[in-house]
Amino acid sequence: MKLDLSPTSWGRVIAVTIAGTAFFIAVAFFVDSFNFPYLSPEAVWRAQMTDLMLPLVLGGSFLFFLMWKIRQLAIAQRDLSVIAATDSLTAVLNRGAFSMLVEAYLEQTRKQEQTRSGALLIIDADHFKLINDRLGHDCGDQALKLIAQAIKGQLRGGDIVGRIGGEEFGVFLPGVDPSQSWVVAESIRRRIREMDFSPGGRPCPLSVSIGGTSFTGPITYEEIFSAADRRLYTAKSNGRDQVSFDPAGAAPVPPPSVATVH
């Protein structure tokens, strides 16, 4: 079993406290050992007890308190980073965190020799303004929460989902091919269409339009986002409540070594 020594763990607090206290005791014994030859056996015993107990009580207590405070600070920093990256209403990533994580994955892909694939979906709630106007913004917020939950329920552990607009969500699917991506997009659309949303006992069907694009090889976030956004426009123009997916994907970034001649 591996000991957790992360800044937020109790294992780190205990390990540092024990190691530091042992070091203090060792230093006390080393410094005092030069006096042992000149002391009586009883005095040596008292000195050894002092060398043991003083660092144990004072040094151990100080180290434990210090590491406990450091752990609290680490937990607070972690919680703040999570809050800063999370949309407060839907509990998915906010736009900045979503784009940053996707771009980090694509940047890593561009540095690797092996070909990596994936897809980006943009999901837009249909006629959302009518929901806010008819039922109020509280009901609109409830609808967004349900949509976010439905999206997360159709994804794998490594997929990334974020709220990238008022009623718009982004889903990044690393390592999937176009057919798998379409299946995920369609399962999200159908799941939302089948949900029961009846605020105050008034049925209000929900639906989403989804635009998606796949990629293989090096590409930037801006390119796949633009391609998926064009597909979303197609889905909305064709009547909404549907998936428009581009199996060809966005145009990949040319390798840095290729020169363009004008």
Annotated catalytic sites, by residue?
167
User: How many angstroms separate the CA atoms of 78 and 83, rounded?
Assistant: 9
Q: Look at residues 154, 170, 168, 182 and name the one whose alpha carbon lies nearest to residue 244.
A: 182
Helices (H), 86-202: 95-111, 128-135, 137-153, 178-194
Burial bucket for residue 224 (CB in 10 Å: 0-12, 13-18, 19+): buried
User: How many angstroms separate the CA atoms of 242 and 219, rounded?
Assistant: 26
Q: Look at residues 152, 86, 120 and name the one whose alpha carbon lies nearest to residue 223.
A: 120
> How would you classify the pairing of strands 117-125 and 208-216?
antiparallel
Helices (runs of H) and strands (runs of E) counted in the chain: 8, 5
Most distant pair of Cα atoms in the chain: their distance: 98
User: How many angstroms separate the CA atoms of 118 and 106, rounded?
Assistant: 10
